[in-house]
A and B are shown apart, each in its own frame.
Chain A
Amino acid sequence: MGASPVADNLLFFTELVSMPVLDVQGRRIGRVKDAALVPMVSSSRIDRVLVGGGYTWLTIRYDQIRSIVLGKGIVLSDEQLTPYHDDEYMLRIGRDLLDQQIIDVTGRKVVRVTDVTMGIHNDGIRDTLTVLEVDIGLRSIFRRLCQGLVSPRWIRRLQRPIRPNSILWDLCNVVETDPLRRLRLNISYEKLEQMHPADLADIVEELSPAERGAIFETIDSEAAADALSEVDPKMQASILEALEPEKAADIVEEMAPDEAADILAEMEKGTSEEIMDEMDSAEKTEVQELLEFEEDTAGGMMTTEYVALHDNATAADALAALKGNTGLLESLNTLFLIDTEERLTAAIPLARSFIASGDTRLKDLASGTLIQVTVDEKQNRVTELFDKYNLLTLPVVDEEGKLAGVITADDVISVLRQK
């Protein structure tokens, strides 16, 4: 596949630039300087071609073009050209795309654009250019280096042995930090919301602080919260600090309270208070309680999101409780029982309550020994317990034996990895 010649209906941006432009009579007007999309109208059709001739640049609309042929040039069908002025709705390929970083959504990485591959499409009246792929890698670097020094035909021949490396334009996401321009260029980050949070986190880590901010500002709070909890802990606080407090609060509310507390603890006091002021009171109290604990104790590791039922509850009650807490389902694997004074009495593996008949008392399904720690237990001891008893969850109780929170295996893994 690497050796196949480039088809005639493809045109690289490097070839388009400096192509001669001829008017209806075949007189040369000038050379192509840049081309632009107008994403509001079409996300891939080249809407304008900018020509430099004489003192000013002129704008050619796509419907003023008759034909585009490599080696010959662009022939126009209309001569009413307008002088170029910097239109804010234009995404200029040469200025805004070439040499900049974009996100490859399926490849899940940040890449730098070296060239752009366009298709020439003829509908019987005119040739239209559409952006097909963004080129990265050696082949496009070679093209850029030779551009203007060697004829395009020769470049196409010489580049054959180099393996192409391109990304479909539909799978690219341009990053724009200016919110107003983002609107005008119709840039959204919806594609990013579909990615796995851990992949999105990797991408975000590679971007600059301004670009990070732009993404977290725009994607919905839930996706943002999921991604943020996967970001390098050192970076988390600085990302939230850069956002508007309301948006930051929205994201923090969506996070697990223990993770939210960890991030807020990393921030300067003024900023974290500003964010907490914007939060809903329920989530705020949870987070505040967690902030009281030292980071390297069981209290600092635990989350307050768990499902606790009354001592005498049955399997049917458990099912009902789960239906009311669908938000927790993804990571839930243990149910807890508490007595009338909220003291922890038993832990029940979730799967057991499933196979039990509806009227079975949960108490009877409890694991043999109840392993629990107090809020001030040291982090090292907690990880030891997880290892020794092969735990998935570990309940944490306060001085009076009341259930305060739960530590899950993923918390322990994060702690171990940071060492």
Chain B
Amino acid sequence: MLKLLRRFRYHLLVFFAVLGPGFITANVDNDSGGIFTYSAAGARFGYLPLWTLLPITLVLIITQEMCSRMGAVTGKGLSDLIREEFGLRMTFLMMTLLVLANMTNVMAEFAGVASSLELFHVSRYITVPISAVAVWFLVVKGNYKSVEKIFLFGCFLYVTYIISGFLVKPDWKEAALYSVEPKLMLDKDYIYMLIGMVGTTIAPWMQFYLQSAVVEKGVTAKEYAASRIEVIVGCIMTDVVAFFIIVACAGAIWSVRPRDIQDASEAALGLKPFGQYAFLLFSAGLLNASIFAACILPLSTAYSVCEGLGFEAGVNKRMREAPVFYFLYTLLIVVGAGVVLIPGFPLVRMILLSQVLNGVLLPFVLIFMIRLINRPDLMGEWVNPRWFNQVSWISVVVMIGLTLALVGITVRGMP
């Protein structure tokens, strides 16, 4: 018995030693864009879309698991591996797309910061510059360990969505029922919404970030069992949060009157009749998610690009040692935050553009990933087992299909 306890304690320790990368990556998936997608789904269709969360979680786990496994076994980042196996030109092309896509993503995050604080009547001309400077300093002046701790705390703050979900007092029976019962309708808006939900599940930057973070953390193949659990728990937690966002919007907005909402802050306003706290928590969640993603996106982009193209990178390096890294990082924050302050800047179009860029990049990333992870010279005994390969090919093909469908819809609907 004592031995069993000791073993359990050992495993728990290993788990905490590897805790971080998987959790953080999965949670940042619920950034301002993600929150908007889920809120819109709940506000328009109520509990109906809940069933998609189960397959979404599965696909998320499958793709994230592969990256963290590659990181642990090879000790190299995804862009490192792509460079080594597919050459400089391909890497350069992918990195260019990644920078563009992520730059527009960062814009969306700072827009989220602005709109969530404008709910409290604080001008964006104050909040956005302050948060941009704070984000910059956090990463530049911190080290990997302290930054990771702050990020993990940011993950914890997603709890606000769960509480606000409870405060709204939704119809739990219906929520439980529709979580497991797939509901398909041949309604154009409904199908668009489903594609949107699944299509935004995996973004290319996540794969790059997760793998680099696993490497940076020094997770080895031996600890990988614990790392895998971390990834799975992180993905589940992310979709639990998504569940509560949908449920909160279904209970607060859809049950009163189903309607389309324009952005996530409108969803927060919709929660107001259910108490000041529900509103407060929902907006605080949005602020947290936006800042959180605004920290990670520029950082992850700068990392991937420098790794792939062979420049020095890392928050532990000084500015003189890694000029390209710091230049890219600063550029993304300055441009991302800057355009939010330009009156009349076509922000919505930019965000749609980022969806298109992500959609173009994702097939490359996923296909390269599967090809890399099946290379015995890289992965040794850790290559995909056969059944897992089939499952991952299916999910990759489905994901690529849905993402491209989303791109199609976006391009057609673009002004």
A binds B: yes
B68-96, CB < 8 A from A: 74-76, 83-84, 87-89, 92
Interface size on B, residues (CB 8 A): 17
Q: Among A136, A211, A234, point to the contact of B310 (Cβ < 8 A).
A: A136
Contact B310 A210 (CB under 8 A): no
Instruction: Please judge, given known A-B contacts A207-B75, A208-B74, whether A141 and B88 are in contact too, CB under 8 Å.
Output: yes
Which partner residue on chain A sits nearest B75 by CB separation? Answer: A208
For residue B148, give the distance in angstroms from its CB to the closest CB of chain A. 13
Cα separation A278 to B89 with both chains bound (whole Å): 49
Assembly CA distance A145 to B311 (angstroms): 16
Closest Cβ neighbor of A271 among chain B residues: B222
Query: Are the C-beta atoms of A112 and B83 separated by less than 8 Å?
Result: yes
- Interface residues in B341-361 by Cβ distance below 8 A to A read none
How many angstroms between the C-alpha atoms of A232 and B84 in the bound complex? 26
Q: For the complex, what is the distance from the CA of A136 to the CA of B218, rounded to whole Å? A: 26
User: Which of A111, A114, A211 lies in contact with B88, CB distance below 8 A?
Assistant: A114
Contact A209 B89 (CB under 8 A): no
B57-77 interface bits toward A, Cβ cutoff 8 Å, 1 = contact, 0 = none: 000000000000000001110
CA distance A82 to B216 in the complex (A): 47
A237, chain B: closest CB distance, angstroms: 9
Q: Tell me the nearest residue of chain B to A238, going by C-beta.
A: B220
Contacts of B87 in A (CB 8 A): 99
Complex CA–CA separation, A109 to B222 (angstroms): 27
- A241 at interface by CB-CB < 8 Å: yes
CA distance A113 to B88 in the complex (A): 10
Which B residues from 96 to 146 make CB contacts under 8 A with A? Answer: none
One digit per residue, 1 when the CB lies within 8 angstroms of any chain B CB and 0 when it does not, for chain A 215-238 equals 000000000000000001011001
Bound together, the chains give a CA A160 to CA B87 distance in angstroms of: 24
Which of A136, A209, A232 lies in contact with B220, CB distance below 8 A?
A209
Determine whether the beta carbon of A145 is less than 8 Å from that of B92: yes
A207 to B80, CA, bound (A): 11
Chain A residues near B309 (CB, 8 Å)?
A: 112, 141
Asked if residues B310 and A111 are in contact (CB atoms below 8 Å), the reply is: yes
Say yes or no: A144 contacts B89, CB within 8 Å: yes
B319 to chain A, nearest CB (A): 16
Contacts A141-B92, A145-B89 given; does A208 touch B84 at CB 8 Å: no
Is A100 close to B, CB under 8 A?
yes
Q: How far is the CA of A208 from the CA of B84 in the complex (A)?
A: 13
Query: Which of A100, A114, A209, A234 is the one whose CB lies under 8 Å from B84?
Result: A100
Whether A208 touches B76, Cβ cut-off 8 Å, given contacts A99-B83, A145-B92, is: yes
A99 with B84: CB separation less than 8 A: yes
Q: Which residues in window 364-400 of B have CB below 8 A to A? A: none
B1 CB to closest chain A CB (Å) equals: 19
B312 cross-chain contacts in A, Cβ below 8 A: 109
Are A235 and B218 in contact (CB-based, < 8 A)? Answer: yes
B221 at the interface (CB under 8 A from A): yes
Tell me, rounded to whole Å, the shortest Cβ–Cβ distance linking A266 to chain B: 11
B88 touches A234 (CB 8 A): no
Q: Mark B188-222, 1 if CB is under 8 A from A, else 0.
A: 00000000000000000000000000000010111
- For A234, the chain B residues whose CB sits under 8 A away are 218
Measured CB to CB, the closest approach of chain B to A162, in angstroms, equals: 13
Name the B residues within 8 Å of A109 (CB-CB).
Answer: 312
Q: Please give the number of chain A residues whose Cβ is less than 8 angstroms from any Cβ of chain B in the complex.
A: 23
Inside 8 A of A111's CB, which chain B residues have their CB? 310
Residues of A within 8 A of B76 (CB): 208
Contact partner, A238, options B83, B89, B222, B311, Cβ 8 Å = B222
Are B75 and A114 interface neighbours, CB within 8 A?
Answer: no
Please name all residues of chain A whose beta carbon is closer than 8 Å to the beta carbon of B88 when the two chains form the complex: 99, 114, 141, 144-145
Give min CB distance, B382 to chain A, whole Å: 12
Q: How far is the CB of A239 from chain B (nearest CB, A)?
A: 10
A241 proximity list for chain B (CB < 8 A): 222
Fill in one digit per residue for A31-51: 1 if any B CB lies within 8 Å of its CB, else 0: 000000000000000000000
Q: Which chain A positions have C-beta within 8 A of B92?
A: 141, 145
**Bound complex: CA of A87 vs CA of B312, how far in Å?**
34
CA gap between A113 and B84 in the complex, in Å: 10
Give the CA-CA distance A211 to B74 in the complex, in Å.
10
| Bound-state Cα–Cα, A113 to B74, Å | 19
Question: Taking CB as reference atom, which chain B residue is nearest A210?
Answer: B75
Enumerate chain B residues within 8 angstroms of A232, measured Cβ to Cβ.
218
Q: Which residues of A contact B220 (CB under 8 A)?
A: 209, 238
Q: For the complex, what is the distance from the CA of A207 to the CA of B74, rounded to whole Å?
A: 10
- The smallest beta-carbon distance between B209 and chain A, in angstroms, is 19
For the complex, what is the distance from the CA of A232 to the CA of B312, rounded to whole Å?
A: 19
| B149: min CB distance to chain A, Å | 13
Q: How far is the CB of B75 from chain A (nearest CB, A)?
A: 3
CB closest chain-B residue, reference A100: B84
- Min distance, Cβ A96 to any Cβ of chain B, angstroms: 11
| Separation of A137 and B324 alpha carbons in the complex (Å) | 10
Tell me, in angstroms, the Cα distance from A387 to B357 when the chains sit together: 57
- Return the CB mask of A381-397 against B: 1 if under 8 Å, else 0: 00000000000000000
Contacts of B83 in A (CB 8 A): 99, 112
How far does the alpha carbon of A114 sit from the alpha carbon of B76 in the complex, in Å?
Answer: 18
Bound-complex Cα distance A141 to B89 (A): 9
Q: Least Cβ distance of A108 to chain B in Å? A: 11
Please, how many angstroms separate the alpha-carbon atoms of A207 and B309 in the complex? 16
- Give complex CA distance A255, B60 in Å: 45
Query: Which of A145, A209, A212, A241 has the most C-beta atoms of chain B within 10 angstroms of its own C-beta?
Result: A209
Q: Which of A100, A113, A144 has the most CB of B within 10 A?
A: A144
* Contact A209 to B75, CB < 8 A, known contacts A144-B88, A232-B218: yes
Residue of B nearest to A241 (CB): B222
CA distance A69 to B311 in the complex (A): 32
Residues of B within 8 Å of A211, CB to CB, are: 75
Which residues in B have their C-beta under 8 angstroms from that of A145?
A: 88-89, 92
CB distance from A362 to the nearest CB of B (A): 45
Complex: A232 Cα to B92 Cα, angstroms: 32
Give 1 or 0 for each of B289-314: 1 = CB within 8 Å of chain A CB: 00000000000000000000111100
Query: Could you give, for residues 130-145 of chain A, a 1 whenever the CB lies within 8 Å of some chain B CB and a 0 otherwise?
Result: 0000001100010011
Q: Of all chain A residues, which has the CB nearest B91?
A: A99
Cα–Cα distance between A114 and B312 once the two chains are bound (Å)? 14
- Whole-angstrom CA separation of A112 from B312 in the bound complex: 10
Chain A residue at minimum C-beta to C-beta distance from B82:
A99
Q: How far is the CB of B201 from chain A (nearest CB, A)?
A: 30
Q: Tell me, in angstroms, the Cα distance from A145 to B221 when the chains sit together.
A: 35
A193 CA to B89 CA in the complex, in Å?
35
CB within 8 A of B221: which of A113, A136, A209, A212?
A: A209
Expressed in whole angstroms, the minimum distance between the Cβ of B81 and any Cβ of chain A is 10
Complex interface: chain B residues within 8 A of A210 (CB)? 74-75
What 1/0 mask marks residues of chain A from 103 to 117 whose CB sits below 8 Å from any chain B CB?
000000101111000
Q: A145-B92, A234-B218 are in contact. List 17 more A-B contacts (CB 8 A).
A: A99-B87, A99-B88, A100-B84, A109-B312, A111-B310, A112-B83, A112-B309, A136-B310, A141-B88, A141-B92, A141-B309, A144-B89, A145-B88, A208-B74, A208-B75, A208-B76, A209-B221
Q: Which 8 A-B pairs have the closest CB atoms?
A: A112-B310, A208-B75, A209-B75, A144-B88, A238-B220, A234-B218, A208-B76, A99-B83
Q: Give me 9 A-to-B residue pairs in the complex whose CB atoms sit less than 8 angstroms apart, sorted by A's number.
A: A99-B83, A112-B309, A112-B310, A113-B310, A136-B310, A208-B74, A209-B220, A209-B221, A212-B75
